[in-house]
Amino acid sequence: HVQLVESGGGSVQAGGSLRLSCAASGRTYINWCMGWFRQRPGKDREGVAVLWIGGATTTYADSVKGRFIITRDKAKDLVYLQMNGLQPEDTGIYYCAVDSDYHGGSCFLAGADFDYWGQGTQVTVS
């Protein structure tokens, strides 16, 4: 069983930055996809950015391309989401998730593929 713990959420003014961190219990595995999803007020959960642990291949939602960056720290078994140029529409609860199935090195923004989820961290942009 994998436990995920997010940190780094908070409140920021429009145009500001935040960095979210996700720690997986134990260790991360090379075949995993790890990613960030969010649920904005009144909207369905959506994929934001995902990364293949084995090769750092990344996929981003169009709404965050050029502003958000997902990275991993192999030594610390952490995955980060650097969020720059935040806008009020980025407000929501951000969740870290793991897809433990191997997809040939590609990761997708489909939440249904992800089988472990963190508790979420609130991001508020005003």
Q: Is the pLDDT of residue 13 over 80?
A: yes
Q: What is the pLDDT of residue 54?
A: 85
For 92, the token pair is 């929501």
User: Does residue 111 carry a pLDDT above 80?
Assistant: yes
114 vs 103, which has greater pLDDT?
114
Beta strands in the chain (DSSP E): 4-7, 10-12, 18-24, 33-39, 45-52, 58-60, 68-73, 78-83, 92-99, 116-117, 121-125
Whether the pLDDT of residue 27 is over 80: the answer is no
Q: Which tops the pLDDT comparison, 26 or 35? A: 35
Mean pLDDT of 74-101: 94
